[in-house]
Amino acid sequence: MLAAVAVAALAAVLPATASAKTVWLCKPGIEDNPCEPSLQTTELSPAGQELGIDNVKAARHPKVDCFYVYPTVSDQPGPQANLEIDPVLRSIALYQAARFSRDCRVFAPVYRQLTLTGIGGTATPEMAETAYQDVLNAWKTYLKKYNEGRGVVLLSHSQGTFNLTRLAAEEIDPKRKVRKKLVSALLLGGGVTVRQGEDVGGDFQHIGACRSNRQLGCVVAFSTFNAPVPADAIFGRTSEPGLQVLCTNPAALDGGSGELETIYPSELFAPGTIALAIGLVAPPPPTVSTPWLEYRGAYSGECSSADGASVLQVTDAPGAPHLNAVPTAGWGLHLADGNIALGNLTDVVRKQAKSFVKKRK
């Protein structure tokens, strides 16, 4: 991931490259949309005992949209992915974005991301710029053809967050008219920065940290760990003078500790490197009859700045499956960022969306 950060930084100073016509992984009306599944959920105790079934219903006419950019998942052999919708893309959309369909129309572009091979060291700044241009082109297409004045939530993780942070900094933060469309930005696992001791500055000059689930035009950002953050950690620290990495706890936006609502699909992730890595993070969950499972009270989270690392520290409840740092301690629980607090994140979006619609009336 350090390689990806360096490549993204270099790409920011390169001239724009040609972007391809947008291919949509998720978009209202497309066939076999991975972002519009059944949301029926089995609730589990920390130890995995079934507590009941929650028949979660998606809104018939969502009032806001979600624009999702997925993390590094491609196992394609070269350093840069093409625009094919591989099974891993459908899986990551299901894992990270589909639950938001309860309250928003989900738009997710395919982009020529740096592959797992590429971030290992063979990617170039030009490739990172191509990936960004795909995301930027999709954003402009969305605004022109589909937005129609609606509020929009940004969703991303890891490589997706590097791209959406840049997009927000260049295309939303400095433009008041576009900024007024922003419900919130959930930019996970990517190191959004702010001025030390403040909620703004750094990456954004106007988009500040979310400190209330009714605050609008704000950002939620965190990287998760469940152990002391190593000195060589990939996430949580910045070398930029006067700045720090932002941590906002979606379970307690105004500060302190909160119970995390951990939600996963019951469907296994598509075969590949990410599926193998997910298998190392935690033991397999119980088999359930519903498309989703939710652990109630299994984990709590609190933002920590110990050892100069600003991260969301996760604590296990008795009997809860212990989560492992993969591939090394320096990555923390990066592979769980999107699901460890998925219920909290969707609840935040639901309340923010209601506030946005009410404000617009």
Task: Please write the tens of the pLDDT for every residue from 162-181.
Answer: 999 999 999 999 999 999 99
Decide: residue 21, CB within 10 A, 0-12 exposed, 13-18 middle, 19+ buried: exposed
Supply φ then ψ for residue 100, to 5 degrees.
-75, -10
* d(C-alpha 264, C-alpha 95), whole Å: 6
Identify whether the C-beta of residue 80 lies closer than 8 Å to the C-beta of residue 123: yes
Which pairing describes strands 292-304 and 258-265: parallel, antiparallel, or unpaired?
antiparallel
What pLDDT sits at residue 11? 43
What pLDDT sits at residue 13? 41
**In the chain, % of residues over pLDDT 90:** 92
Which residues are CB-neighbours of 253 under 8 A, at least 6 positions away?
Answer: 210, 211, 212, 213, 215, 220, 348
Which residues are CB-neighbours of 87 under 8 A, at least 6 positions away?
Answer: 270, 271, 272
- Scan for tokens 């740092």, then name that residue: 325
* d(C-alpha 106, C-alpha 101), whole Å: 6
* d(C-alpha 73, C-alpha 75), whole Å: 7
Radius of gyration over every alpha carbon of the chain, rounded to an integer in angstroms: 19
Stretches in the chain below the pLDDT threshold 50: 1-16
Identify whether the C-beta of residue 43 lies closer than 8 Å to the C-beta of residue 52: yes
Q: Structure tokens of 17?
A: 């490259």
What is the identity of the amino acid at 294? E
Q: Structure tokens of 177?
A: 């008219």
- Closest alpha carbon to 80 in 18, 122, 138: 122
What CA–CA distances, in Å, run from 245 to 114, 187, 223, 237, 314? 23, 12, 10, 6, 17
What pLDDT sits at residue 244? 97
Distance, C-alpha 226 to centroid of its chain: 19
* d(C-alpha 133, C-alpha 139), whole Å: 10
What pLDDT sits at residue 284? 92
Q: What is the pTM of this model?
A: 0.94
DSSP one-letter code for 286: P
- In sequence order, the β-bridge partners of residue 325 are none
